[in-house]
Every structure is written in structure tokens, then in C-alpha cells.
Structure 1
Amino acid sequence: MFELEGRTALVTGAGQGVGAGIATLLARQGAVVAVNDIVAERAEKAAAAIRAAGGAAHALPFDVTDTAAVAAAVRTFERSVAPVDILVNNAGNGGAEGFRPTRFRDADPADWQRFADINLFGVMNATRAVLDGMCARRFGRIVTIASGAGTQGMNIGVSLYGAAKGGAIAFTRHLAIEHARDGITANSLAVGLIDPAASGRQASATVNLAKAIPVGRLGTPEDIGAACVFLASREAEWITGQTWQINGGSPTT
């Protein structure tokens, strides 16, 4: 079950962390994976690691916020390698490197756009680049990696991030219904706290938060990757327009 032989996947933001974990598990199930990252060296390193483990992977660097660059990169990849059957919209962040939580009242309006650019419009750009081909072939799997901040209110200074992630969730739901008769499914994962060590960062800021998670630990890239493998498979063809909480039980729905 959940085999992906003969399928090709594009995972955005897959040069490290959760994205790299998703790409690795998709490749382990037999998919050919296009590893995207804004930093070419990270994309190639992650793709090389997949190949070293016996999988098939290609580095595909581009900036998801650049509509033309996304379309050109996907078009070149599909012509030279294979059409994209599976898209995992993983690229996203708190708006920029070094982001610090800020209440909306204290946020600079000049900063609003950058949150939407990657967390919402980046999802739209990558989706648009693969959607026509999926419709033509009457098969497609789209998974958007969102956040619990997009499904619930939080008093931790992430309103702008949460608004963009919530927008991505809403977009994915509408996309699912628009293309339900085209053989395409589209779902979102509202991801909880992930161990920052997966991206080479210190875990000190989240250790205390982790104590409140019912299962007693932070999430891992493999936790998210496993959900993506299932949603990408034929076995999940009757699941679309849904938002799954992948969070160790905090909160439940």
C-alpha cells in the first residue's frame, strides 16, 4: 500500500527540515522527487542525500514567490524529467529569517506583504504551475503544509503568519472542490510544533512548549512526511478538501 512508483513529486522548500523529510519519504515509496529550495546548494545537498539512499531526486532551485521563475522551472523540469503528479507546498516561514513574534497592533504595515508572499502566494504560484498538466492527465495530489496558527487564535504574536497560513488552507479547500471531478485531490496539514533541530536550529525556545503536547514530544519531519505519503497515494483518492491537524494532540478537533 501507499506505493508511489511511476509518480513524480515536487516538494517546495525541501532543502532542509520538514521539506527534506517529506521529499525523503516520498522517494522511499518510489516517487521521483524534485527537491526545491530557494538556496541551490541546499536543494542539491538534499537531492544528493536521497540519491545516496537509493532514491531518485533532482534539485530544482527557485523562489516560490517569483511567479515567472516558478513557471519556468516547472516547465523545464517537466520537459526534461517527467510531469509533476504530486505537489507538496511546503515552502513557508514567519516572513523572513530572524522573524520575531509581534502583536498585530505593534506590527509595521510594511511587513504585512512578506508573510503573504511566501505562505499564500507561494502556494498559489507552485499550484498554478502544475495544475493544467494534472487536469490534462486527470490525476494530481496537492498537499499544502500549513500551521495550527492558521486554524486557531494564538496569543503568541503570529497573527500575520496565521492569516497567511489560514489563507493557504482556504485556498486549498476551494481548489479541492473546483477540481474534484478532474482526478485531483487537495488537502492541508495544520502542523504543530516541530523540533527545530531538524533545520539546524536550537530547541531551547520550544522545550517548555513541548511539555504541554499530549504525546510528550515535538514533531519530526518524518511525522509530516508520513501523512504526505498517504495523501499522495491512490489509497487517499476519496480524501479531499480536508485540513488535518498533525500536532501530537495539541489541540484536538
Structure 2
Amino acid sequence: MTLNLTDLNGQIAAVTGAGQGVGREVALHFARSGARAVIVNDFYAERAQAVVREIEALGVKGVAAVCDVTDEAQVKAVFAQAAREAGGSIDILVNNAGNSGVNPDPEARKHFWEVGEAAWNSFIRVNFYGVINCTAAVVPGMIEKKAGRLITIISDAGRVGEPNLEIYSGAKAGAAGFMRGAARALGRYNITANCVAISATATPAIAARLEADPDRTKKMLSNYVIRRVGKPEDVANMVLFLASGSSSWVTGQTYPVNGGFSFNL
């Protein structure tokens, strides 16, 4: 008999921003690893529904949950409906939605002192408040069952800082701090809360930028110990571990999956 250490044992998982890239791969990893149902959140219905079809082709129930994670009321309503469609409360939440949101301010990537609140909020709303909104929507059900997994995808920018992305760096660091607080508050209910910090990963948008400028890509990769761009499955592998029973005594931590861009004690 082979023991599968990352079998999700019929649990219901929800992944935000799962219509493409890392989120999509996490959702598919869950479907391949024993999840009973996978809820696919995205702002764009066609993206969510496309991933749902991929999940159902694997013989697992998929549910599209179309909403903007920065809208608290919308998140609670849509997640509650998705959980009913999935057949129970959510056991695993992956906060993956990020970047600068669905309607980024065109000045969001300028230095913070050159812009103002509208540009700052492009990053703060989705990367910080989006994480809080989605977590608040699922935690009551986890407390009731006295079990759950909360996993937030942050960025190495939140660990080491990044010029021209100062607000993004702060929002990601804030999300990690929120998860540490959640870990302390929820551990008594057998709910764990952890983060995965990623660096350059070949999501559709990033892959296109890297392919358009090979010289810049080569220069960027000189900062990595493993000299390749990350793949969505690199991240999904770590997320799957943190979602599984194998990580039941791991909480309040941040795990870099970054090809050695930065090191962590």
C-alpha cells in the first residue's frame, strides 16, 4: 500500500484568483489530490468557468465563484453560495488573488511619494483587504468544524522590499502579519494559517514580459541561485503540502518558493 502524504481526503477547497497562473495550478493540484470539490474564484466568469471545466474533467466537482475579493459583502455572499453548491463548508482557503487588482491605477508602479492614495489602493485593496475579506468569510465554518487550512500567497517583495513596488511590498508584508495573527487566534480550533512567498513565476502576464525582453530576463535570473523562472507548479506543490494533513503542526510560517532569490532562517 502506498501512503499519499498530500491526500486531501475529500475536503472542499477554495482558491482565489484561480482563473489562470498559480491559482489555476493550485486548483488543479487539489483536484488531482483527493479534494471533494474545488471552488474557483476569479473576477472574470469565463476564466473561472474554464478552470471548473478542467477540474470536472478530472472527476472532481468544480464551482465557479465570480466576485471581486475587495468587496466584503460580495465575497461573503458568493462564497456562501459556492459552499452550498460544493456540498459543505470550505475546509481549505488559498488567498492567491493579488497583483494590482482588476482595475489598477495607471500610476501604481511609480514610487509611492510620486503618487497618492488611489494608486496605493491598487495594491492595498486586493493584497491586504482581499485576504482579510476571504478569510473572514470562511473562518466561521472552520471554527464550527474545528479544522481548517488558511494559505496566503505573498511575494518576496513583502519579505525583502522592492523599489517601485513599495506599497505592494507593504501590502504583502501586511498579509503575512495578518496570517500570523490568525494563526495565534485560530490554533485552538485546529486551524492553521501559513504563507507562501514567491518570486518571478511564469504566470501568463509575467511570462509575456520575460519573453519580450530576453536580455533583461537573463540579468534578472543572475539574482537567483537556481537560474530559471519559477513555474506555477513549483508554488502549487508547497501549497498542497500546507493544505494537507502532513502540515498539521505547521502554522504562522512563511515559506519562500523562490529559486534562492532570497534566503530565510
- For normalisation by structure 1, the TM-score amounts to 0.94
Distance 1:196 1:79, change over 3 A: closer
Letter of the aligned partner of 1:238 in structure 2?
W
Distance in 2, matches of 1:11 and 1:163, equals 23
Partner of 1:130: 138
| Selected match of 2:202 from 195, 202, 210 | 195
Q: Give yes or no for contact 1:85–1:139 (8 Å, CA) kept in 2.
A: yes
- AA matched with 1:138: K
Give 1:105's aligned residue. Answer: 113
C-alpha separation between the residues in 2 aligned to 1:67 and 1:167?
18
Other-structure match for 1:92: 98
Aligned residue in 2 for 1:11: 15
SS at match of 1:188: strand
Residue 200 (structure 1) shift: 6.6
Distance 2:22 2:89 in 1: 23
SS of the residue corresponding to residue 240 of structure 1 reads coil
Cα distance in structure 2, aligned partners of 1:113 and 1:47: 30
* Structure 2 counterparts to residues 95-244 of structure 1, below 5 A: 95=101, 96=104, 101-155=109-163, 157-197=164-204, 201-203=208-210, 204-205=212-213, 207-208=217-218, 209-244=220-255
**How high is the sequence identity, in percent, across the aligned residues?**
40
**CA offset at residue 129 of structure 1?**
0.5
Moved more, 118-127 or 52-61: 52-61
Work out whether residues 180 and 253 of structure 2, in 8 Å CA contact, stay in contact via their aligned partners in 1: yes
Paired with 1:141 and 1:198, the residues of 2 have a C-alpha distance of 28
TM-score, structure 2 as length reference:
0.90
Correspondence for 1:38 among 40, 43, 60: 43
1-structure distance, mates of 2:205, 2:241: 22
Match of 2:72 in 1: 67
Structure 2: runs of 5+ lacking an equivalent: none
Cα root mean square deviation, aligned: 1.7
Residue 24 (structure 2) aligns with: 20
Contact residue 18 and residue 198 of structure 1 kept, 8 A? no
Contact 2:193 2:251 in 1 (8 A): yes
Equivalents in 2 of 1:108, 1:216: separation in Å? 36
Classify the secondary structure of the residue corresponding to 2:227: coil
Q: How many residues align?
A: 252
